[in-house]
A and B are shown apart, each in its own frame.
Chain A
Amino acid sequence: MTAATIFYALLFYAAFLLCVIGLVYKIADYARTPAPLKIPTTPAPTTAGGVVLRMLREVGLFESLFKANLWIWLFGFMFHVALALVLMRHLRYFTEPVWFWVAWIQPFGIYGGLAMVAGLAGLWARRFLVERIRYISTFSDHLMLALLAGIGISGLLMKFVAHTDIISVKAFFLGLMRFDWQPLPTQPLLLVHLTLVALLIAIFPYSKLLHAPGLFFSPGRNQADNPREQRHIAPWAAALEKAKP
């Protein structure tokens, strides 16, 4: 067992824990906090079923962003779809035997990797080229893009330039999942890739990546427009009501 193996095994456990604890805490916190008033951005669906459809359009198609700005939509959508594809492609490192659909998408996943980096490049370029977006960009916005781009590029390099021993990588991750540690190859590109991925996992709940769970809790999008039909009252507001003479 090399020091690298031990280090990365611990790193991934820690990152995973940080991520899960942070996410559970945040989601519980969102769920616990009341939304005392009906504030959907209208026109909004009037039924729960309609709200589900609205959310699906937001999550799957980025409907509002599409209305707002085609360029941001294009790059943002490209990046997210590509990322989803790449993540699905990577499932092969965590499943044995590899699920059939994961095997099936392998070739597309490669295009996904390219599209992901291209999307990121577009998003990043906007932060320099568009004055308004340059103004609002913070250091962490750039770092986040750098992190994702680093992951994408190191991954692509391993695919196209310097192959790594993916059989051992898979053995390492299956070992992690089964608490039966296996040696990790120490190719530098791989280590860079894995370090950045672990970092991304770890900071997910503590950064603006919270937009992912946040969307589902946004009252502007997830409330049905039915205030006249159904009385809506938060617990603290109800308490206020009882306290009245």
Chain B
Amino acid sequence: MAAAEVVAPPLKQYPVIPILQAGAMAHSKPYTANAAIQQAIGFPGELVEDWQNKAVAKLGDLLHKYRGLKVYLDACVHCGACTDKCHYFLGTGDPKNMPVARQDLLRKVYRRYFTWAGKWFPKLVGAEDLTREVLDEWNTYFNQCSECRRCSVFCPYGIDTAEITMAAKEIMDSIGMGQKYSNEIIGKVHKVGNNLGLPGPALLDTLQSIEEDLKEETGQDIRLPLNQKGAEVMVITPSADFFAEPHVYSLIGYAKVFHAAGIPWTLSTHASEAGNFGLFIGNYGQMQKIATRVREAALELGVKRLVVGECGHAWRVAYSFWNTLIGPFDFLDPNYPVPQHICELTYDLIQRGAISFDKSANDKYVVTFHDSCNVARASRMGGIPGGQFEIPRAIIRAAANKFVEMDADSIREKTFCCGGGGGILTDELLDLRVKGALPRMEALKNVVDSDGVNFMATICAICKAQFSKVLPYYKFNMNMVGGVHQLVSNAIRLGPK
């Protein structure tokens, strides 16, 4: 299957709600996972016989397990408030990318098999049999949702399309119609310990060469320890931080923060991945299994604190779900939140005066901040609601002189997804990813033009990878995107204490 042509829509100064273009993205589908990938994580290798009944039964099972799903499938009144809130709709004009229309793909099947009205008056209430066409449509459009929850902010009932997408993906996995990218990555985590399949020795090599570079650059022994027993802090970070750019600059930033503050820390081979794609496929068991490595590693190394690096969905899983999935954390230091975000840690050190900055080191940058969806709408930092917005910004302001906000409708809880979240950061979906980035690119263009912004900081590995790839399609420099701790790394004072 050849990848579809990738077309970036023109940037407009003010967001315009597109005219509907039915079927505009009907061609966009992910590669289907092959039998080996599927079976490695306990799913059937190919579409099972009797898939229709099995899918309906699975939906029934999920309805018993997740109140959210049940309520969300019942409560929608088709008010339309969410219709213009999805970046994929705004970027493609395909009406099935309107959140409510996406939900309706599952809702019509739910109505048909699980509600009285749908059983007796299917036409009246828009109930439909689960046919092959419907299944194919699921595969198409539930793989055009990045599970970013922007729609849920605006729905009067808080209906979260991400939950519905996850349920649909869970059903598709269970009947053998998995998505290659996500499921392959989950297999790698179990086999090697991280999403990128980077084995232990390679990881050690990478960290050592970073240490050598740092020695040359700063003259100081800044360590990036691996599997250090008895360290105070274990850092769990997305594996992209180990060798992808710009991710690695943030990793260096964390190392410098620990060095400057004198906190003994370590990384772990066993838990060399903060990302947890179990979330993206809506599978509780997988999510728990992946998270369990963190608990095991923490116990084995005897650390006292868990700190999570810059990754959006990983922070959601860590902040919102770890306690549920792999808690209780009674073996860790109760004086610190478990888990703690690297930004919380850095912010805390700034507040206490334990680290300081030479802001002029970032003077070449006019910085803006892209809130990542899972951090913004599915987690928190610090003690008060909204800390997830204030803390990263406070760090940027402490480390750089020039900071500019993008349009108010595109930041904080209203932030637009980068276009690559939710397990669709794969090449065959590039056209979708480019188009989905449109609302963010428009907001960025405005501050580039008005304030000369040349650096968009973010705290998510997927955002970084996605923007690096997509920025050039909109005639921006791919190096414009980077981590908050990249700015920290540039400006932190490392003088001997």
On whether the beta carbons of B154 and A68 are closer than 8 Å, the reply is yes
Listed stretches A85-93, A183-191, A225-233; interface member:
A225-233
Chain A, 12-62, CB within 8 A of any chain B CB: 26, 29-30, 33-39, 41-46, 50, 58, 62
On whether the beta carbons of B78 and A227 are closer than 8 Å, the reply is no
Closest to B150 in A: A41
Give Cα distance in the complex from A210 to B115, angstroms. Answer: 12
Q: Does A3 contact B (CB under 8 A)?
A: no
On whether the beta carbons of B152 and A220 are closer than 8 Å, the reply is yes
Give Cα distance in the complex from A171 to B404, angstroms. Answer: 69
On whether the beta carbons of A41 and B152 are closer than 8 Å, the reply is yes
Q: Does B378 contact A (CB under 8 A)?
A: yes
Q: Does B77 contact A (CB under 8 A)?
A: yes
Give Cα distance in the complex from A42 to B376, angstroms. Answer: 7
On whether the beta carbons of B84 and A45 are closer than 8 Å, the reply is no
On whether the beta carbons of A41 and B149 are closer than 8 Å, the reply is yes
Give Cα distance in the complex from A236 to B413, angstroms. Answer: 31
Given A72-B80, A218-B75, A41 and B158 contact (CB-CB distance below 8 Å): yes
Given A218-B158, A231-B324, A35 and B101 contact (CB-CB distance below 8 Å): no
On whether the beta carbons of B155 and A64 are closer than 8 Å, the reply is yes
On whether the beta carbons of B385 and A140 are closer than 8 Å, the reply is no
Given A132-B95, A232-B323, A36 and B388 contact (CB-CB distance below 8 Å): no
Q: Distance in Å from the Cβ of B26 to the closest Cβ of chain A?
A: 15
Give Cα distance in the complex from A26 to B71, angstroms. Answer: 10
Q: Does A96 contact B (CB under 8 A)?
A: no
Closest to B108 in A: A138
On whether the beta carbons of B78 and A33 are closer than 8 Å, the reply is no
Binary per-residue interface labels of chain A (103-139) against chain B in the complex, 1 for a CB within 8 Å, 0 otherwise:
0000000000000000000000010001111011111
On whether the beta carbons of B67 and A138 are closer than 8 Å, the reply is no
Given A33-B66, A69-B80, A228-B338, A233 and B324 contact (CB-CB distance below 8 Å): yes
Give Cα distance in the complex from A208 to B118, angstroms. Answer: 12
Given A43-B386, A231-B323, A131 and B65 contact (CB-CB distance below 8 Å): no
Give Cα distance in the complex from A50 to B83, angstroms. Answer: 29
On whether the beta carbons of A228 and B386 are closer than 8 Å, the reply is no
On whether the beta carbons of A42 and B413 are closer than 8 Å, the reply is yes
Give Cα distance in the complex from A231 to B154, angstroms. Answer: 28
Q: Does A165 contact B (CB under 8 A)?
A: no
Q: Does B304 contact A (CB under 8 A)?
A: no
Q: Which residues of A sit under 8 angstroms from B160, Cβ to Cβ?
A: 39, 41, 220
On whether the beta carbons of B117 and A206 are closer than 8 Å, the reply is yes
Closest to B338 in A: A228
Binary per-residue interface labels of chain B (14-27) against chain A in the complex, 1 for a CB within 8 Å, 0 otherwise:
00010110000000
Q: Which residues of A sit under 8 angstroms from B87, Cβ to Cβ?
A: none
Binary per-residue interface labels of chain B (350-376) against chain A in the complex, 1 for a CB within 8 Å, 0 otherwise:
000000000000000000000000001
Q: Which residues of A sit under 8 angstroms from B327, Cβ to Cβ?
A: 231
On whether the beta carbons of A64 and B379 are closer than 8 Å, the reply is no
- For the A-B complex with A42-B388, A132-B20 known, give 4 more contacts whose Cβ atoms are closer than 8 Å: A30-B70, A126-B80, A211-B77, A220-B159
List, sorted by A's number, 26 A–B pairs whose CB atoms are closer than 8 Å: A34-B67, A35-B66, A37-B321, A46-B385, A58-B156, A68-B85, A68-B155, A69-B81, A132-B95, A135-B95, A136-B83, A138-B78, A139-B126, A143-B124, A218-B68, A218-B157, A220-B155, A220-B157, A220-B158, A220-B159, A221-B157, A227-B319, A228-B323, A231-B327, A232-B323, A240-B285
B binding-site residues for A, Cβ under 8 Å: 17, 19-20, 63-68, 70-72, 74-85, 95, 98, 100-101, 104, 115-117, 123-126, 149, 152-160, 163, 284-285, 288, 319-321, 323-324, 327-328, 337-339, 376-380, 384-386, 388-389, 413
